[in-house]
Structure 1
Amino acid sequence: MADTGSVDVSGVRLRTVEHHLDEILGAVPTPEPIELAVLDAQGLLCAELVTSERALPSFDQAGLDGYAVRSADVATATVETPVALHVVGESAAGSGDATAIGPGLAWKVAVGAMMPVGADVVVPAAWTDQGLARVAVYAALAPGSYVRRIGDDVAPGDVAVQVGTPIGPAQISLLAAVGRERVAVRPRPRIAVLCAGDELVDVGRIAGPGQQVDVNSYALAAAARDAGAEAYRAGIMPNDRRRMVELLEGQMLRSDVVLIAGTFANGGPDLLQEALAELGGLAFTQVAMHPGPVHAFGRLGPEGVPVICVPGEPVAALVAFEVFVRPAIRLMLGKRQLFRRTVQAVSAEQLLSPLGYRQYLHGQVMRHPDGGYVVEPIGDGDQAMLARMARANCLIVVDEDVTEVAAGGLVTVMPMLLGG
């Protein structure tokens, strides 16, 4: 289906998923790099070119426990005819004493210890009789064997970490080794999560007739954190327009993006829409997707903070997060891969989908014994089935122009891996 920004479904113009997503991605900010302690930078992208001012290692050192010797002295050594050398000293890691050996001599060394001048190999202890005053060597070694030379790992001026590199344990190790206590990174975007609805009550309260526990502020904050954001759960919005405006203004001051879940009125403006209008207004629209077609997006306040509104049904809210919000967070983080990787899978059951709507169904995908993937839908697409959603490990995506997928047919599947 060609994306013209909207699609006609039974005489109603709906915005396409791609158009709505493009509008959000085109408007979210790119937070300025910040400097963090190296350990606090874990999981973020490096925002500077880190070069080393020192050599790694900074001195010739033993690569393992053994004996530092001259390769020429052990050139003829074999198990049958070992070469005997006099052990004239011993060094442990951390010893800075300058040492040297001549022909026919050996120096016992621990891994990381400074190599004595004159030695060009380390004979592993297992290849000797491990003698104390005199050692028998059972194998010949090429010059440089088991020796870490100055600058073998990193030389002064070498790039240690590139711009855009994800900082993990290996990068933290290297940054520490080259002497960096702090590093510039792309910061985690700050996401404020709010929920609107007269029917909502806080977790811990017993919902009365017609009421529902607020699960969206918890679920969406957790999803934002899983995507890499710093999420603030602001909870249920007050049932008062003035207080709503004040709350929104406060959240926009502290956030890069404000995310609101709610059941929005179709017949005219509701309290939330009136509050949003006071701050500049958002355009509510129907997006050609199921579940949850009603969405809104805009930039509000003096700083033009992006505000994303998603449906209030908990299942629809998390689907909308996956489709629209998660890619925006990853864009702000500087990630190259904005979207979850998808696979083609064989559907274990018949799937039905409304014409003109892109349907997202929760399912369980697994490897097929004969290769490839097979997916089984969980439930029938009912938006309210939280327990079914909790058992799912993927979203099944049925395109707008497909109304039926036969059992055994191929479908696109989006595996839902935590942090993936």
Structure 2
Amino acid sequence: MVSEGSDNETGSGPSRSAEPVVSEPVAQTAPAESDEQPPAAREEQPAPPVDPPPREGRHVAHPRPGEVARPRAQSIPDGMLTVEDHLEHVLRGIGPLAPYPQPLVESIGLPVYDDHVSEIDLPRYDQALVDGYAVAALDAAGATETMPVTMPITGEVQPGVSRPFAISRGTAARITAGSPLPTGADCVIPGSHADQGQRRIGVRVEPRVGQGVLRAGSDMKVGTKAVEAGAVLGPREIGLLAALGVDRVGIRPRPRVVVISVGGELREPGSHMSHDSAFDGNTSMLAAAVRAAGAIAYASPPVPDDSAEFERVLSDQLVRADFVITSGGIDQGHRGAVRRALQRVAEARFSEVGLYPGRLQGFGKVSDGNKPIIALPGNSVAAYVSFEVFALPALRRLMGRSPYRRPMVHAVLTTGLESFPGRRQYVPAVFEVTYRGARVTPVPHSEELRISQLAQANALVVVGEDETALNKGDTVRTLVLDRPF
């Protein structure tokens, strides 16, 4: 393994390299939960190959047969993985969850697995668009204000309560909007076009065939593709499917994600505090990020720096997990409870990655159930950045969502930035769109990584590995957080 250090970042650092597994989407410059789970947890299909755990020593990314070597920033030290190297390792180690039918409304925000073809006409029958009178247009031909055509009313049609109804020539039926058009009628005369009586009407405006009628299948015909495979269901798509009579739809389920933070000083929010303890903010932050991504989050109480205790908690939590996210405990030293435990119970790799904050990263699969686990640093800012860069793409792959990575936008930097070479730096910032275009302002920061500064941000400015300075007025790559994609 590579040499490891503390997962509490203190340094600084970060050009982007190509990635064969998943490309990093760049958008144009920004303009001026259901708990129901599948019977089988994972899809029965070949998954992307998982890189075997490396031997002790340096991690160097080598292209597979037929692949072109990925460009690598010159400033990244030998033995350190690029962001893309580690992300590829993570994405190759997981596959989409198996789809199964789920309740329609619970499927919001998830992609449809198969094309959905309408099995009915929409609407199913010719229906009235307005309140009025159903007639045959020919029977009221020549009607005028001065010479109205008089017709007897032979019945009334209302939506959902009437039996099949027919009118004979020269008669009319009172009808309510949404009601099926009676047999023998081919138009609906609005009440304002007739002298209305209890038993007879006088038509004062000559009608035309099809007036006031919504034809069967005019919205959608049988056999029409209503929703394409891969389309993400929103309120409008759900409304369409419901109107077509669909109550369940085949989708990949929301991943069940267990979040565990490790640290002897950590206490749950609201619990008793001693002089040397701290409230656990990471678990709530990461669980909220999991839910914001569309998955189901289970927050575990914090675990002390004890590998045996972490192993016990992990074993208990795996029964309800498709994916596990940890923060802290990945040092090589005495605070490396997660690292030591996973070396016993999982095929896991811990690596130095050219990322700031978040140099130390881990990923593997727990032997019990082959469940993927991603190990993030303990520092809150490093944990959040690592989630955004590595865990979020993994969750979207589990759900079958694409793109995996949050698209970047270009924005004008309002103040200069400095960075150390060799690591890609993600700088918390405030993104806004003004009449002059998209602008991004880094949050004032100190050398320490503070969660209060992260809380002020709605974006991350991306500084390349070979870039040591960005100047005011430069166009920079920016991840706009909390924006659906």
Decide: shared fold, TM above 0.5. Answer: yes
Distance change >3 Å, CA 77–CA 25, structure 1 → 2: farther
SS at match of 2:300: strand
Q: Partner of 1:191: helix, strand, or coil?
A: strand
Instruction: Report the Cα distance in structure 2 between the residues aligned to 1:78 and 1:398, rounded to whole angstroms.
Output: 76
- 2:99 corresponds to which letter in structure 1? P
TM-superposed CA distance for 1:335, in Å, is 1.2
The whole-number CA distance in structure 2 between the counterparts of 1:250 and 1:6 is: 41
Deviation per CA, 1:353-390, whole angstroms, max 9, x where unpaired?
Answer: 222221111211111213x2011111226553323322
User: Conserved in 2, the CA contact under 8 Å of 1:46 and 1:164?
Assistant: yes
Amino acid at match of 2:391: V
The whole-number CA distance in structure 2 between the counterparts of 1:76 and 1:394 is 68
RMSD of aligned residue pairs (Cα, Å) = 2.9
Alignment of 1:105-144 (within 5 A): 105-128=171-194, 132-135=198-201, 137=203, 139=205, 142-144=208-210
Structure 1 residue 392 corresponds to structure 2 residue 451: no
Which residue of 282, 288, 291 maps to 1:216?
Answer: 282
Task: Give 1:10 shift.
Answer: 7.5
Aligned to 1:329: 395
Q: Does structure 2 conserve the Cα–Cα contact (< 8 Å) formed by 1:353 and 1:402?
A: yes
Greater shift, 126-135 or 145-154, is seen at 126-135
Change (3 A) 1:182 1:400: same
Q: Are the counterparts in 2 of residues 29 and 256 from structure 1 also a CA contact under 8 Å?
A: no
* In 2: Cα distance, 1:191 partner to 1:38 partner: 22
* In structure 1, C-alpha distance between the alignment counterparts of 2:136 and 2:182, rounded to whole Å: 10
Q: Is the 8 A contact 2:332 2:339 kept in 1?
A: no
Counterparts of 1:16-415 in structure 2 under 5 Å?
16-73=82-139, 76=142, 85-128=151-194, 132-135=198-201, 137=203, 139=205, 142-205=208-271, 207-266=273-332, 270-370=336-436, 372-380=437-445, 384-415=449-480
Cα distance per residue 1:239-258 (max 9 Å; x no partner) = 43322222222333432211
Question: CA contact under 8 A between 2:73 and 2:466: conserved in structure 1?
Answer: no
Please report how far the alpha carbon of residue 35 of structure 1 lies from its aligned counterpart in structure 2 after TM superposition: 2.3
Q: CA deviation at 1:269?
A: 7.8
In 2, are the aligned partners of 1:348 and 1:374 still within 8 Å (CA)? yes
The answer to which of 376-385 and 283-292 deviates more is: 376-385
1:118 aligns to what SS in structure 2? coil
Contact 2:133 2:172 in 1 (8 A): yes
Matches of 2:449 and 2:382, distance apart in 1: 8
Number of matched pairs: 419
Percent identity (aligned): 34
Change (3 A) 1:116 1:221: same
Q: Following TM superposition, by how much is the alpha carbon of 1:306 offset from its aligned partner in structure 2, in angstroms? A: 1.5
CA 410–7 in structure 1, closer or farther in 2 if over 3 Å, else same: closer
Q: Point out where structure 2 has 5 or more consecutive residues left out of the alignment.
A: 1-14, 19-69
CA contact (8 A) 1:202 1:213 kept: yes
Aligned partner of residue 231 in structure 2, secondary structure: coil
Kept in 2, the 8 Å contact 1:395–1:416? The answer is: yes
Give 1:392 shift. Answer: 1.7
Quick one: which of 411, 416, 420 aligns to 2:481? Answer: 416
CA distance in 2, matches of 1:402, 1:409: 12
Contact 1:300 1:306 in 2 (8 A): yes
Question: 1:417 & 1:135 partners in 2: Cα distance?
Answer: 60
SS in structure 2 at match of 1:397: strand
Partner of 1:236: helix, strand, or coil? coil
Structure with a larger share of its residues in strand: 1
Contact 2:125 2:215 in 1 (8 A): yes
Query: Which gives a bigger RCO, structure 1 or 2 (Cα 8 Å, sep 6+)?
Result: 2
Give the SS at the match of 1:376.
strand
CA separation of 1:10/1:226 partners in 2, compared to 1, >3 Å: closer, same or farther?
A: closer
Q: Against the structure 1 CA distance between its residues 139 and 170, is the aligned structure 2 distance closer, same or farther, given a 3 Å change threshold?
A: farther
Q: Alignment partner of 1:223: what SS?
A: helix
2:267 alignment partner AA: V
CA contact (8 A) 2:111 2:230 kept: yes
Deviates more, 1:373-382 or 1:155-164: 155-164
Please report how far the alpha carbon of residue 208 of structure 1 lies from its aligned counterpart in structure 2 after TM superposition.
4.2
* TM-score, normalised relative to structure 2: 0.78
Aligned partners of 2:77 and 2:103: how far apart in 1? 57
C-alpha distance in 1 between matches for 2:246 and 2:397: 27
Secondary structure of residue in 1 paired with 2:184: coil
Tell which deviates more after alignment, 174-183 or 131-140. 131-140
Decide which moves more: 272-281 or 110-119.
Answer: 272-281
Between 118-127 and 228-237, report the one with greater CA deviation.
Answer: 118-127
Q: Give, in angstroms, the shift of residue 314 of structure 1.
A: 1.0
Letter in 2 for 1:122: V
Work out whether residues 68 and 122 of structure 1, in 8 Å CA contact, stay in contact via their aligned partners in 2. yes
State the SS of the aligned residue for 1:171.
Answer: helix
